[in-house]
Structure 1
């Protein structure tokens, strides 16, 4: 395996996913790319404690109704996640769209050999109505997926 794609969502458990995926990739001598899919701007308004060096955003600094500003917030998050690994060879990719489909499309485009992603609990209703991104990826993937179990 030569290329490992690590999928990040906007959640503090992403730090565990990044660390586990990066460690696995390094053991295999594989190239790493962090990917984040900008799909639901509501996630960026959640105030978490700083994680991976990302401090979050200030409500007064951005207008959530402006897509370009939201993209900048997401790019900042992805930049901080890459800096967290302290490896200048780590690639980054920010995409927009349906998370599972967009992730799989980019994995194909980048010719990834493995997708690393986390699983964390969602509400029963959310799972029932939408499923989880992890389940959607597993259902449609053509390449192996390494799931990192994380809990809130």
Structure 2
């Protein structure tokens, strides 16, 4: 395996997912790609669900304008750059895509010729799983690229 794409979301557990994916890539001496997908701008309207403002790990940030897609792209690029700095590898490539989470992940992995996709799996409320489904589950069902899923459920 030569390329590992790590899909990071808005959850504070993104740091754990990035670290696990980076360790996997390092063990295989593979190139690392950090990827974030931006969906509907309304999704980012609350502090609680902001991919940037809701993050409290090494990525803690003060104020980021979230009123336009361009501002979200800028903030997301900053988010990925900070994660790249945290991992300590300046050769890591970063990608920000706009669109459905699972489709963006799969399309980016195919475009980049990733050999494996690393992503987290969150424990959500039952109603959310029924209505929205799990991004990890959708990627698993629709992708022919192997997945390395990092469980991020809080204990």
Judge same fold: TM > 0.5, yes or no.
yes
Return the match for 2:136 from 110, 134, 137: 134
137 and 45 in structure 1: CA distance in 2 versus 1, 3 angstrom threshold: closer
RMSD: 1.7
Contact 1:9–1:37 (8 Å) recurs in 2: yes
Aligned residues: 148
Normalising by structure 2, what TM-score?
0.88
Q: Give the corresponding residue for 2:98.
A: 96
| Unaligned stretches of 5+ residues in structure 1 | none
78 and 46 in structure 1: CA distance in 2 versus 1, 3 angstrom threshold: closer
| Unaligned stretches of 5+ residues in structure 2 | none
| Secondary structure of 2:50 counterpart | helix
Q: Give the corresponding residue for 1:41.
A: 44
21 and 49 in structure 1: CA distance in 2 versus 1, 3 angstrom threshold: closer
Deviations 1:21-48 (A, max 9, x none): 0001110111000000011324327854
Is 1:18 the counterpart of 2:18? The answer is yes
| Secondary structure of 2:89 counterpart | coil
Normalising by structure 1, what TM-score?
0.90
Q: CA deviation at 1:81?
A: 1.0
Contact 1:35–1:93 (8 Å) recurs in 2: yes
Contact 1:57–1:73 (8 Å) recurs in 2: no
